[in-house]
A = this chain, B = another copy of it.
Amino acid sequence: MRTYCGELNKEHIDQTVEIFGWTNRRRDHGGVIFLDVRDKRGIVQVVINPDNKNFTLAETIRNEFVLKISGKVIARDDNLINQKLATGEIEIVADTIEILNASKPVPFQIDAVDTSEEVRLKYRFLDLRTNVMQQRMRLRSKVTHFMRDFMEKHDFLDIETPFLTKATPEGARDYLVPSRTYPGEFFALPQSPQLFKQLLMMSGFERYYQIVKCFRDEDLRADRQPEFTQLDVETSFMNEDEIMALMEAMTRGLFKSVIDVDLGDKFPTITYANALDKYGVDRPDMRIPLEIIGIDELLENIEFKVFAEPAKNPNSRVAAMKITGGSNISRKQIDNYTKFVSIYGAKGLAYIKMNEEGPASPILKFLGTEVTQNIINKVDAKTGDIIFFGADKIKIVNEALGNLREKIAKDLDLYTCKWAPIWVVDFPMFDANDDGSLSAIHHPFTAPSVDAKTLESTATTALSRAYDLVINGSEVGGGSIRIHQVAMQQTVLKLLGISDEEAQDKFGFLLNALEYGCPPHGGMAFGLDRLVMIMTGSDSIRDVIAFPKTQTAACLLTNAPASVPNKVLRELGVKISLPEKD
């Protein structure tokens, strides 16, 4: 009967136990072999004395050999107790030793902290043996377990939607799959089950959930994967407040149950407009006690054009952000921040240092004393603080100061709490493009908060019934009430410049289904990888995925993608046609 290494303790003293595991470390000391044997529950020390019948065999044991050992548990001498090890009060004196498998010398020590990600991904089967990766995958499994349990307790059915489906309209690139039975035609891998979950509502299931892989063939940013997992939820006959309350209860329970974190009684809510105005981004990190404050009205009439012109222009803004106690930020660090905001298009980074001697800044002479004092009053700056400024197009100021806010908070460790969830609501329906055309801020199936006629006349300002859940500045989930009436859907598609033909071609099946008694419905999707990353405190979603892809969408372990024989491609009705090199 197997005992797990990590679970042995003083209660097992004098018992004969059998363990299976890997050689974590081997030492020889005074003719005795000491092995640290590791299984999925932890590590225990095994002692092999020179008179052991398998001693010669034991001498061949190297790191990562797989062993089956039986022996007797004994107490360690007081001076040999290892406090760092859960099993450190005992050890096993080996009786029989069996080598179940050997191992070549490993390219890196298990649990070595300085292994490069490239090597870790190539030898993922070794990297996953590390304690930190074992714990992350275990936590991830607990997360999905909790989610499923919660959803099923609330009468949501787990229903699978297809993977080989039609190009979806989310906007990112689809992964395509050639069809052999219909040569020249293609399936698309779903970017989300959006249309199918809406169809499930039209199918009368009322409550659906699924934890499901989705696919986006995008240029990969640090925090994206070509295949990612979401908790996907949809329900009929509930409004946004009811859906948000339910999803909030799920999230609260999840954090409490899995990592014993209390997210608070009721998550606060902020409008999209306020989030951008005060925090520069639509996913505000509420752990940070810094706010962006508009000061246009103080600057409209000054002569300093760098500030006065954006202050007067309705498409621009001037804003200030005070960092309490920030006056000792060095000149060099300010240069770094100036470089940082330039990523977002800012042409500079003005500041006022609140020194003991009074405000100090290269721009004071352009502002004049009165305006300077008005600004200081408006942002309530005190001696020892610093004020940073942004003055440009609204988008540039928001992005620059919004991201600077997060960077400074990180650099100076300004966080006021560990966990800060917030709902963002009242998103606009559309983004206006430079050419005057409209794009959907969420997706074309999101319901507006006004009727079709009002929507047509106020498209650029109309709000949607969408909501995002943000935790610590990361969007962990988003959703909306969907359009359930075909006329409204047609209005929205028209506003988006999608012709009837294109609409019929791409999602005629949805438009058709809307005409046969579609219930009011809405839902939400949580990004599982992102959520687990946050919950485990990992730096990258690659650290919470067993077999992730690199940022160029390759698998270093299996060397996928790979070339394929022409014969196979011929059967699929395609051939390779490489783009000509520039």
Q: How far is the CB of A158 from chain B (nearest CB, A)?
A: 5
- Flag if A576 contacts B519 (CB, 8 Å): no
Q: Taking the complex as formed, is A100 at the interface, i.e. its CB lies under 8 A from any CB of chain B?
A: yes
Are the CB atoms of A125 and B516 closer together than 8 Å?
Answer: yes
Q: Are A176 and B179 in contact (CB under 8 A)?
A: no
**Contact, CB under 8 Å: A40 / B205:** yes
Q: Which residues of B contact A204 (CB under 8 A)?
A: 22, 38-40, 128-129, 134
Check A141 against B125 for contact (C-beta < 8 Å).
no
Interface string of A544-581 (1 = CB under 8 A from B): 01110100111101111111100011111111111100
Q: Report if A289 contacts B (CB, 8 A).
A: no
* Inter-chain contact A546/B159, CB cutoff 8 Å: yes
Question: Is the CB of A291 closer than 8 A to any CB of chain B?
Answer: no
Option from B40, B163, B181, B196 in Cβ contact (under 8 Å) with A213: B163
CA separation between A574 and B158, bound complex, in Å?
37
Within 8 Å by CB of A574, from B128, B562, B577, lies: B577
A179-B546 in contact given A125-B516, A513-B125 (Cβ < 8 Å) = no
Please state if B176 and A178 are interface contacts (CB–CB under 8 Å).
Answer: yes
A103–B516 touching, CB < 8 Å: yes
Task: Classify chain A's interface size.
Answer: 35 or more
Chain B residues within an 8 Å CB radius of A164: 175, 215, 226-227, 549, 553, 555, 560-561
Q: How far is the CB of A123 from chain B (nearest CB, A)?
A: 8
What is the bound-complex CA distance between A183 and B508, given in angstroms?
32
A474 at the interface (CB under 8 A from B): no
**CB–CB B515/A103 < 8 A:** yes
Contact status B554-A182, CB under 8 Å: yes
The answer to whether A379 has its CB under 8 Å from any CB of chain B is no
Question: Which of A199, A215, A552, A570 has the most chain B CB atoms closer than 10 A to its own CB?
Answer: A199
* Interface: A30 (CB within 8 A): no
Closest CB of chain B to A154's CB: distance in Å? 13
Q: In this assembly, does A117 line the interface, its C-beta being within 8 Å of a C-beta of chain B?
A: no
Q: Does A539 contact B (CB under 8 A)?
A: no
Report whether A180 and B173 are in contact in the complex, using a CB–CB cutoff of 8 Å: yes
What per-residue 1/0 map shows which CB atoms of A85-113 lie under 8 Å from chain B? 00000000000000011111010000000
B interface footprint on A160-197 (CB within 8 Å = 1, 0 otherwise): 11111111000001011111111111111100000110
Contacts of A562 in B (CB 8 A): 166-167, 185-186, 505
A237 interface residue (CB < 8 Å to B): yes
A202 within 8 A of B: yes
A167 to B183, CA, bound (A): 20
Beta-carbon contact of B573 and A575 below 8 Å: no
Q: Is the CB of A138 within 8 A of B166?
A: no
CB-CB under 8 A from A431, the residues of chain B are: none
Q: Which of B161, B226, B519, B558 contacts A166 (CB 8 A)?
A: B558
Kindly list chain B residues whose C-beta atoms are within 8 Å of the C-beta of A40.
204-207
A545 near B160: Cβ-Cβ < 8 Å: yes
- Per-residue 0/1 for A340-355: is the Cβ within 8 Å of any B Cβ (1 yes, 0 no)? 0000000000000000
**Interface-centre pick from A145, A175, A545, A555 (highest chain B CB count, 10 A):** A175
Instruction: Give the CA-CA distance A515 to B105 in the complex, in Å.
Output: 9
The answer to whether A184 and B563 touch across the interface, beta carbons within 8 angstroms, is yes
- Which B residues are CB-close (under 8 A) to A327? none
Contacts of A141 on B, CB cut-off 8 Å?
152, 157-159
Q: Is A200 engaged at the interface, CB distance under 8 Å to the other chain? A: yes
Q: In the complex the two chains form, is B579's CB within 8 Å of A183's CB? A: yes
> In the bound complex, what is the Cα–Cα distance between A561 and B167 (angstroms)?
9
Q: Tell me how far the C-beta of A227 lies from the nearest C-beta in chain B, rounded to whole angstroms.
A: 5
Say whether A25 faces chain B, with CB atoms less than 8 Å apart: no
Which B residues are CB-close (under 8 A) to A575? 574-575, 577
- The residue of chain B having its C-beta at the shortest distance from the C-beta of A520 within the complex is B100
Q: Does A244 contact B (CB under 8 A)?
A: no
Q: Is the CB of B181 within 8 A of A158?
A: no
Which B residues touch A176, using CB under 8 A?
177-178, 564, 568-569, 572
Decide if A517 is an interface residue (CB 8 Å cutoff).
yes
Q: Is the CB of B66 within 8 A of A517?
A: yes
CB < 8 Å neighbour of A576 from B20, B134, B184, B188: B184
Q: Complex: how many Å from CA A220 to CA B205?
A: 29
Q: Which residue of B lies closest to A130 (CB)?
A: B204
- The residue that A124 contacts in the complex, of B128, B159, B203, with Cβ under 8 A, is B203
Is A389 on the interface with B (CB-CB < 8 A)?
Answer: no
> Which residues in B have their C-beta under 8 angstroms from that of A215?
163-164
Residue A438 lies at the interface, judged by CB distance under 8 Å to chain B: no
Residue of B nearest to A213 (CB): B163
A187 nearest in chain B by CB position: B561
Binary interface profile of A, 406-435, with partner B (CB < 8 Å = 1, else 0)? 000000000000000000000000000000
A26 near B: Cβ within 8 Å? no
Q: 4 closest pairs, A vs B, by CB?
A: A128-B203, A103-B517, A64-B517, A185-B561
Can you list 8 contacts pairing A with B, beta carbon distance less than 8 Å? Answer: A100-B484, A125-B199, A164-B549, A164-B560, A182-B554, A185-B563, A187-B561, A195-B558
Given known contacts A160-B229, A164-B227, what 12 new A-B pairs fall within 8 Å (CB)? A20-B237, A39-B206, A66-B518, A100-B520, A101-B518, A137-B159, A141-B157, A161-B546, A165-B560, A166-B559, A176-B178, A186-B564
